[in-house]
């Protein structure tokens, strides 16, 4: 399904003048943003800047009051249901690790991997050889081979984050929305995560929300700063850190 995304002009995600308000609070304010195919983009901004709301809009969880959101050239994301957005090839990793705690690691992967998510197919679905090989490959990438029959609820925090990233990859998405993947990770886990995300960029487009500035610097070429629901600055980490608006907002006048 994800092959059908038209990125001939190199654009993976296009948002224009998106507005969202909750009970008078303007969560997104004329937000416009473009992501190129294969790009790894970091999104930074204080709490309430609109990072999560933006991801909610992209994944169909929140409907904006106005604006446009396109996936590739041809898919209007505002017309899609949440489950369809996922099947079109947009995967999301939440801030808090959410894995299915009462399922084993392998079952978690199988849930993410099943290609068609229909009810009738689910009655008969069993991973075939190719899919089993893919799951083993993912387990290896995540370093979870030995734990494949453990209940996911018994994993450590870092392992859950890994499993969740593995589940994302099992869906083979074109666009990955990743919310603070290294929060609560040890330095070595953080490093491993950075390696992984870098290796995924190119084939996948990644939008990463992160507070850890060192981590952001080690990863992304382009950084977008959100403030009060719109884009405050965009550019390299160096540019952004020297941007007068950013300095004003973050350090105060």
Partner 1 sequence: MTLFGKYLALAILALSIDLLWGYCGILSLGHGAFFALGGYAMGMHLMREIGDRGVYGNPELPDFMVFLDWQSLPWFWWGFDSFTFTLIMVALVPAALAFGFGWLAFRSRVSGVYFSIMTQAMTYALMLAFFRNEMGFGGANGLTDFKDVLGFDLQSPVVRCGMFVLTAIALLAAYGLCRSLTQSHFGRVLRALRDAEPKTRFLGYAVERYKLAVFVFSAMLAGVAGALYVPQAGIINPSEFQPLNSIEAVVRVAIGGRATLSGAVLGAVSVNAAKTQFTAWFPEAWLFALGGLFILATRFLPQGLLGLMTRSRS
Contact residue for partner 1 among 26, 117, 192, 228 (CB under 8 A): 117
Contact string (CB under 8 A) for partner 1, positions 8-47, x = contact: ----------------------------------------
Work out how close the CB of 105 gets to partner 1 at its nearest, in angstroms, rounded to a whole number.
13
SS3 content of the chain, % helix, strand, coil (to 5): 40, 25, 30
Site membership for partner 1, residue 124 (CB under 8 A): yes
Query: Contacts with partner 1 in 47-76 (CB under 8 A)?
Result: 59, 61
Nearer to partner 1 (CB atom), residue 112 or residue 194: 112
Angle (CA) 115-118-121 rounded to 5° is 75
Contact residue for partner 1 among 22, 23, 47, 119 (CB under 8 A): 119
Tokens standing for residue 209: 């929300």
Site membership for partner 1, residue 122 (CB under 8 A): yes
Burial degree of 3 (CB within 10 A; 0-12, 13-18, 19+): exposed
Q: Do residues 5 and 174 lie in contact, with contact meaning Cβ atoms separated by under 8 Å?
A: yes
Contact residue for partner 1 among 6, 65, 76, 82 (CB under 8 A): 82
Return d(Cα 244, Cα 217) in angstroms, integer: 19
Work out how close the CB of 115 gets to partner 1 at its nearest, in angstroms, rounded to a whole number.
9
DSSP 201: B
């Amino acid at each position: 399904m994800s092959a059908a995304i038209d990125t001939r002009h190199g654009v993976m995600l296009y948002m224009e003048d998106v507005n969202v308000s909750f009970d008078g609070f303007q969560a997104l304010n004329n937000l416009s943003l473009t992501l190129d195919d294969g790009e790894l983009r970091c999104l930074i901004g204080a709490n309430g800047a609109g990072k999560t709301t933006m991801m909610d809009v992209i994944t169909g969880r929140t409907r904006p009051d106005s604006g446009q959101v396109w996936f590739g050239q041809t898919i209007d994301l505002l017309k899609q249901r949440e489950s369809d957005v996922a099947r079109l090839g947009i995967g999301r990793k939440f801030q808090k690790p959410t894995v299915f705690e009462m399922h084993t690691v392998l079952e978690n992967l199988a849930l993410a991997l099943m290609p068609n998510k229909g009810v009738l197919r689910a009655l008969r679905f069993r991973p075939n050889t190719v899919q089993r090989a893919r799951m083993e490959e993912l387990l290896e990438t995540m370093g979870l081979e030995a734990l494949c029959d453990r209940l996911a609820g018994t994993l450590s925090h870092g392992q859950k984050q890994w499993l969740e990233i593995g589940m994302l990859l099992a869906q083979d998405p074109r666009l990955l929305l990743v919310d603070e993947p290294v929060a609560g990770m040890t330095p070595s886990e953080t490093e491993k995560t950075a390696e992984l995300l870098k290796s995924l960029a190119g084939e996948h487009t990644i939008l990463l929300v992160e507070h850890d500035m060192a981590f952001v610097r080690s990863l992304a070429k382009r950084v977008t700063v959100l403030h009060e629901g719109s884009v405050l600055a965009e550019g390299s980490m160096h540019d952004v850190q020297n941007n007068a608006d950013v300095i004003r907002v973050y350090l105060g006048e």
